[in-house]
């Protein structure tokens, strides 16, 4: 049993505990570090978080996180509007952007099918994408999900769903190891996977 801290410190611990990979021991370590900070550094962290609340929004078109709507990618008329890369999370979009090789647009699904997390196929927000296919002249949808069980299930489901649509469906080529994370794949691997994408 750890000691009870003053209420504000308990609140900080509870927040730190929500971060991925931060268990009770690491949360305590971060908490003690933050307690040693100068007031101005704590205020800096607090105002950075509040700024997120005030300015961060979801792009109405591709659903990535942005501070403008539509986001800079959706608003860029020079990008190829006929190709849409579908990813699970905004960080996957950033990974693909970091290759500098992809010139199409995106659709961030926000989740993958995961029975363990209670995400069923019908929970996926696919309707806005179907609307975009109907109105934007999209010719190809690239399915770019992590090569793990959830990603594969999602790819399979979307392939079936999109088969009825007038689009080419493709998926990333080989290169990202099975069970690996798209967001941690190196630029070279991602570039190859994009270039070597397979039509489904």
Q: What is the 3-state secondary structure (H, E, C) of 89-135?
A: CHHHHHHHHCCCCCCEEEEECCCCCEHHHCECHHHCCCHHHHHHHHH
Binding mask 89-128 for Zn ion (x = CB under 5 A): ----------------------------------------
Nearer to Zn ion, 70 or 180 (CB): 70
Total of residues contacting Zn ion (CB under 5 A): 6
User: Among 53-61, 91-99, 122-130, 161-169, which window interacts with Zn ion (CB under 5 A)?
Assistant: 53-61
The least CB distance from residue 85 to Zn ion, in Å, is 12
Q: Which is nearer to Zn ion, 107 or 145 (CB)?
A: 107
Question: Using CA of residue 53, residue 58, residue 59, residue 65, what is the dihedral sign?
Answer: positive
**Chain CA centroid to CA 58, Å:** 12
Nearest to Zn ion of 84, 176 (CB atom):
84
Quick one: 61 or 171, whose CB is closer to Zn ion?
61
Residues 32-41 as b or e (16 or more Cβ within 10 Å = b)? eeeeeeeeee
**Sign, CA torsion 133/136/141/146:** negative
Task: Please tell me the distance from the alpha carbon of residue 103 to that of residue 99, in angstroms, as a whole number.
Answer: 10
Binding mask 55-94 for Zn ion (x = CB under 5 A): ----x-xx-------xx--x--------------------
Residue 162 sits in the site that holds Zn ion (CB under 5 A):
no
Q: Minimum Å distance from CB 71 to Zn ion?
A: 3
172 half-sphere exposure, CB direction, 13 A CA radius: 28
Q: How far apart are CA 181 and CA 59, in angstroms?
A: 24
User: Based on CB atoms, which residue is closest to Zn ion, 31 or 74?
Assistant: 74
Would you tell me which residues interact with Zn ion (CB under 5 A)?
A: 59, 61-62, 70-71, 74
């Amino acid at each position: 049993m750890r000691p009870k801290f003053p209420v504000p410190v308990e609140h900080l611990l509870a927040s730190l505990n929500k971060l991925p990979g931060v268990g009770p021991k690491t949360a305590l370590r971060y908490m003690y570090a933050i307690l040693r900070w100068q007031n101005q550094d704590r205020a800096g962290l607090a105002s950075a978080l509040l700024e997120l609340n005030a300015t961060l929004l979801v792009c109405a078109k591709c659903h990535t996180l942005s501070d403008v709507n539509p986001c800079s990618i959706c608003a860029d008329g020079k990008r190829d509007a006929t190709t849409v890369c579908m990813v699970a999370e905004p960080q996957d979009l950033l990974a693909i952007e970091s290759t500098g090789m992809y010139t199409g647009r995106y659709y961030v699904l926000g989740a993958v099918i995961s029975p363990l997390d209670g995400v069923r196929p019908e929970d996926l927000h696919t309707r806005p994408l179907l609307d975009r296919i109907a109105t934007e002249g999209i010719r190809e949808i690239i399915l770019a999900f992590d090569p793990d069980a959830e990603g594969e299930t999602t790819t399979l489901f979307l392939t079936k769903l999109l088969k009825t649509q007038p689009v080419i469906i493709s998926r990333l080529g080989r290169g990202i190891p099975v069970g690996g994370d798209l967001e941690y794949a190196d630029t070279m691997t991602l570039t190859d996977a994009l270039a070597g994408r397979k039509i489904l």
